[in-house]
Structure 1
Amino acid sequence: MADRDPKKTELDAGAHVLSGNLGKTVQRLRKAYNLSLSELSEQSGVAKSIISQIERNETNPTLATIWRLSQALDVSIERVLATATEEPFLEKLSRADTPLLVSDDGKCRLSIIGWIKTVEWLQWYDFQCDPGGVLESDGHQRGSIESLSVLSGELTVEVADRVEVVGPGESARYRCDGRHVIRNRGTTPAHAVMVCILKAAVME
């Protein structure tokens, strides 16, 4: 993946939630627990002013902020983000609104195209890597699996002492609960789709 700490970095990477019902949901849950803004702020570590802005839908909080609020309210992120009604669902995200992660060397870019509600267990990205680019990642939780499907160019995947070269139309699937590295050793840019299953069954 794109981050050394797979969950925290993504949560803090500036991925924003666009949900008209988010503020109402947070306010409803806070009042259900009979919490004041100050009390929820103290329990969550989120500034009182930020919570107030969220409830008024005046800001798009990061996933990290929503995570802290969900923990303080003792509910899942999915429930916090859930819509208030069962209306038909169709969502479009523009390129400008799609969160982007960049590797340390600046040569690898991962657009977060996965659904925000699945971030705790399923993440997927549009991955582009310039020649010479290196994406080094520490391990995710035990049993996690990553799948890399190359659309163009060529990428090398390194997992422990295993190395595989993946070309156009090919996919590599591997355990990502240990350090893993993706490199572009070629002379042309590479483009791939990356999916990470964070709660896969443990493989012995």
Structure 2
Amino acid sequence: MTMEREGRRGDIEKGAQVLSGQLGKTVQRLRKAYNLSLSELAEQSGVAKSIISQIERNETNPTLATIWRLSKALDVSIEGVLADTDDRPILQKQSRADTPLLVSNDGKVRLTIIGWIKTVEWLQWYEISAEPGGALESEGHQRGSVENLSVITGEAEVDVSGVVERVRAGETLRYRCDRPHVIRSVGDTTLQAVMVNIMKAAVLD
């Protein structure tokens, strides 16, 4: 039994080494999706910043323990990290448990990352749920980026550097998000919306 376990462990570690090229890209995309710096991910995962940097640049073959720590910090299953290969079929279902969720400090805003990690550098999309009075504050993204907010239920107030616009159920608001902006839930009911970010939009360059 011991030999069998050791053999299986060896197969897993060998597989991790084979996938290390894709692993680095996956870790980097997830980190950027959470807007985490290398230092912040190192602090949350317990993996040295230099090691994470080497993984992202595909300069090292991480151990299974290291991959596990990173997967926990990035809120994704270890299977999800290791399975992210280029030859995987496009038909792909992501479980609720593997869908990253961010919650504001006051608990009023929930931001679900439903976008594909492969597109995070140029296209991102999210589900927003905000109780009345809840606000999602964001710093400016990359120059030329455009945010598209489609309200499903409730009402939102969008403030882009002092310019304010209201968006009601069934409406979509597009605005430059390369400057500080705030989305507030101002209706009497919970705001439910979908937000799509087009990064470095060529139309504005």
TM-score interval for Structure 1 and Structure 2 normalised by the shorter chain:
0.5 to 0.7
Alignment root-mean-square deviation, CA: 3.6
| Residue 100 of structure 2 is aligned to residue 90 of structure 1 | no
2:196 is matched with which residue? 195
- TM-fit CA distance, 1:165: 0.7
- TM-fit CA distance, 1:170: 0.1
| Residue 122 of structure 2 is aligned to residue 112 of structure 1 | no
Deviations 1:115-147 (A, max 9, x none): 011111111001111011011111001111100
- Alpha-carbon distance in structure 1 between the residues aligned to 2:162 and 2:61: 46
| Residue 64 of structure 2 is aligned to residue 53 of structure 1 | yes
- Alpha-carbon distance in structure 1 between the residues aligned to 2:161 and 2:90: 42
TM-score normalised by L of structure 1: 0.64
Moved over 4 A (4+): 27-30, 62-65
Instruction: State the one-letter code of the partner of 1:88.
Output: P
- TM-fit CA distance, 1:63: 11
- TM-fit CA distance, 1:101: 1.1
- TM-fit CA distance, 1:189: 0.3
Task: Sort the Cα spacing of 1:82 and 1:108 in 2 relative to 1 into closer, same or farther, 3 A.
Answer: same
Deviations 1:53-108 (A, max 9, x none): 179xx63845998xxxxxxxxxxxxxx9442x3x5332111112210012233211
Determine which structure has the larger helix proportion and give its number.
Answer: 2
1:41 is matched with which residue? 51
- Alpha-carbon distance in structure 2 between the residues aligned to 1:102 and 1:28: 29
- Alpha-carbon distance in structure 2 between the residues aligned to 1:119 and 1:133: 25
Task: Sort the Cα spacing of 1:52 and 1:119 in 2 relative to 1 into closer, same or farther, 3 A.
Answer: same
The gaps in structure 1 that reach 5 residues or longer are 1-20, 31-39, 66-79
1:142 is matched with which residue? 143
Q: Is the 8 Å Cα contact of residues 158 and 164 (structure 1) preserved in structure 2?
A: yes
| Residue 112 of structure 2 is aligned to residue 102 of structure 1 | no
- Alpha-carbon distance in structure 2 between the residues aligned to 1:173 and 1:189: 21
Alignment length, in residue pairs?
Answer: 156
The gaps in structure 2 that reach 5 residues or longer are 1-14, 25-49, 75-82
Q: Is the 8 Å Cα contact of residues 144 and 202 (structure 1) preserved in structure 2?
A: no
Indicate the percent of aligned positions where both proteins have the same amino acid: 51
Q: Is the 8 Å Cα contact of residues 142 and 202 (structure 1) preserved in structure 2?
A: no
1:161 is matched with which residue? 162
- TM-fit CA distance, 1:29: 9.6
- Please show how residues 15-26 of structure 1 align to structure 2 within 5 Å: 24-26=18-20
Deviations 1:144-196 (A, max 9, x none): 11000000110000112311110011000000000000001222101000011
TM-score normalised by L of structure 2: 0.64
- TM-fit CA distance, 1:198: 1.4
